[in-house]
Structure 1
Amino acid sequence: MYQNGRFVKMSGKQKYKGILYIVCSAFCFSLMNMFVRLSGDLPSVQKSFFRNLVAFFFALIMIRREAVPLRCRAGNLKYLLLRSLFGTVGILCNFYAVDHLVLADASMLNKMSPFFVVVFSIFILKERVTVPHMLFVGGAFAGSLFVIKPSFSNMDLLPSLIGLAGGLGAGAAYTFVRKLSLRGEKGPLIVCFFSAFSCLATLPFLIYGYEPMSLRQIVLLLFAGLAAAGGQFGITAAYSHAPAREISVYDYSQIMFSALLGLLVFGQVPDALSWLGYAVICTMAVLMFFYNLKREK
């Protein structure tokens, strides 16, 4: 009885740590998007390269500090590659959306990732997903249509669809983060591997289409990289401490941060349909969160 009580207590402590990490991650990613937008008209591949280059060296410092071996556990290499591939696609799509949409819209489409995590968890983690879970995912997708506003007259349709694809890529990547954590892989190594993979994958495109940058743009991209490193370590730590179904709702704090930064820095105000979409998606996230709590009890 005493052991069971202790186990429950530790489980709750881990969950609250996961919540703290995911909120800090959301703030860092909001800052990253702001710096990316401020860096101006540069190719998304170029922005992605410098963002991940900073994160790579940051991860190396953490690996050395925590004495994490620079090798993955047996059988984990394929999951690291898949996490990195989906993560790279997610970043490129997100950066494109950030450059072409209202900051809060781009962030909200990227924040479809927790719902995609639920879907990918069925196939990757073999987690059982109930009918209500799928209804919440469907409701969130319906909400995303208010943000995307699909019509041939909508000039933001393509950036919106690319932003949604970014959320899908991020959802798959975060599911593999959880998979790797369950298989004993350390967070700094996951971040380092992903950052190195992304830099190498985008390097040929960077060399071919490099755009000269001013000192201001370089500094802004360095800040974007630092913010991204903080966000990456935060999200990795969050999903290492608790399952996505328990803490993913708190990831939506990024919308609040992004809307505030968009208003203060860029003077952006989302339209009424976007706000309706935000409300629908966040409502689905909250309903899913409380449903999961009820199931556990």
Structure 2
Amino acid sequence: MNAPAAHHPIRGILYLMGALALFALLDTVSKTLAARHPVAVVVWGRYFAHFLITLVVFLPRYGTSLFKSARPGLQLVRGLTLVGTTGAVVAAFQHMPLAEVTALVFVTPFLVTILAVSFLGEKMPAWRWIPVIVGFSGVLLIARPSGNAFNIGVVFVLLGAVCYAVYQVLTRKLSAVDRSVTQLSYTALIGAATMCVLVPRYWVPGALDLRDWLLTGSLGVLAASGHLLMIMALRAAPATTLSPFTYAQLVWATLLGWLVFGDFPDGLSLAGMGIIVASGVVVAYSERFGKSG
């Protein structure tokens, strides 16, 4: 069993920033593939490649102890919530732009804060709700839902946000009893096993060309690396500290949406980015120099 998670907020924030950049790349590749292939095929590729990478990198070192968990049942639930998140978000990509999907996912920090305070016993001074809410207003400025945005894609995103909030809280809870590599391995195993059961009904032989196979393989690399950094971030700092900084993924998504899909951010989007960054700096400053419970 690991020692209780230590609090190193700056280290946790840096790990989180790396994870979010990788997740934005993961979403970009997923959206590209989802435009040509069923959701189940894309999600299967993401988890199967992730599982293979995990086995190659970690199994020689850890052996079967790689999957030794103090809470295997909770690891199963955690893995299934991430599969649900991935499937819902990839489905949303088939109906909505990258930045808009990413913006709507950012109901997640609110849910994480509520769950972390309620179930993990983390402290959240009342005043710290202010920068979180201000940060969310910046999200709305960057990706303003248009009148036709409220379609099935929105439902998929909100379902994904609920799953992702539970996943983050369970990751924090399990960080106190399981190694990071064990959490990463369970995520890959559960995702791959689940999708291997579901994907045959959607598989079309020969549908993936060489380029698509390479993109599919990259999903595993990006996912494995990103989630390892996320686990390390949640081990280093409380979820309530990290939550405001998850907005940085929207900055990455907006930039990638511009570069890959031609969505150039306008003035209001840039203003939203500034608001998000400012709210994150306020929370980081208070964490670094101390605050009362």
- CA gap of 1:140–1:247, structure 2 versus 1, over 3 A, is closer
Structure 2: distance between partners of 1:15 and 1:294? 11
- CA gap of 1:145–1:107, structure 2 versus 1, over 3 A, is closer
- CA gap of 1:206–1:275, structure 2 versus 1, over 3 A, is farther
Equivalent of residue 19 in structure 1, options 13, 23, 29 = 13
In structure 1, what is the equivalent of residue 109 of structure 2? 114
Equivalent of residue 74 in structure 2, options 72, 79, 87 = 79
- CA gap of 1:252–1:275, structure 2 versus 1, over 3 A, is same
Deviation, 1:171, is 1.5
1:210 has 2:203 as partner: yes
Structure 2: distance between partners of 1:41 and 1:293? 46
In structure 2, what is the equivalent of residue 103 of structure 1? 98
In structure 1, what is the equivalent of residue 89 of structure 2? 94
CA distances 1:220-257 after superposition (whole Å, capped 9, x unpaired): 11112211111111111111222222233333222222
Conserved 8 A contact 1:140-1:280: yes
CA distances 1:194-230 after superposition (whole Å, capped 9, x unpaired): 1211222223331112243222222111112211111
Equivalent of residue 55 in structure 2, options 34, 52, 60 = 60
Deviation, 1:147, is 7.7
In structure 2, what is the equivalent of residue 166 of structure 1? 160
Amino acid paired to 2:13: I
Equivalenced residue count is 283
In structure 2, what is the equivalent of residue 194 of structure 1? 187
Conserved 8 A contact 2:112-2:243: no
CA distances 1:41-70 after superposition (whole Å, capped 9, x unpaired): 222221111101111122223433652713
Amino acid paired to 1:117: V
CA distances 1:142-197 after superposition (whole Å, capped 9, x unpaired): 7777788779x5255321232132222112101111111112x0111111111211
- CA gap of 1:268–1:156, structure 2 versus 1, over 3 A, is farther
Structure 2: distance between partners of 1:32 and 1:217? 14
Deviation, 1:106, is 1.8
- Stretches of structure 1 that go unaligned for 5 or more consecutive residues are 1-10
Structure 2: distance between partners of 1:251 and 1:142? 14
- Stretches of structure 2 that go unaligned for 5 or more consecutive residues are 1-5
Could you say what the CA RMSD is over the residues aligned between the two structures, in angstroms? 3.0
Structure 2: distance between partners of 1:164 and 1:275? 24
Which stretch has the larger CA shift, 155-164 or 250-259? 155-164
In structure 2, what is the equivalent of residue 70 of structure 1? 66
In structure 2, what is the equivalent of residue 247 of structure 1? 242
CA distances 1:97-137 after superposition (whole Å, capped 9, x unpaired): 23322212222233433332111113431334444455666
Which stretch has the larger CA shift, 219-228 or 123-132? 123-132
Equivalent of residue 34 in structure 1, options 28, 32, 35 = 28
Conserved 8 A contact 2:122-2:238: no
Structure 1: distance between partners of 2:156 and 2:273? 18
Q: How do 1:249-288 and structure 2 match up within 5 A? A: 249-269=244-264, 288=283
TM-score (norm 2): 0.81
Deviation, 1:285, is 5.2
Q: How do 1:131-142 and structure 2 match up within 5 A? A: 131-132=126-127
**Percent identity between the two aligned chains:** 23
- CA gap of 1:66–1:296, structure 2 versus 1, over 3 A, is farther
Conserved 8 A contact 1:249-1:289: no
In structure 2, what is the equivalent of residue 229 of structure 1? 224
Conserved 8 A contact 1:90-1:167: yes
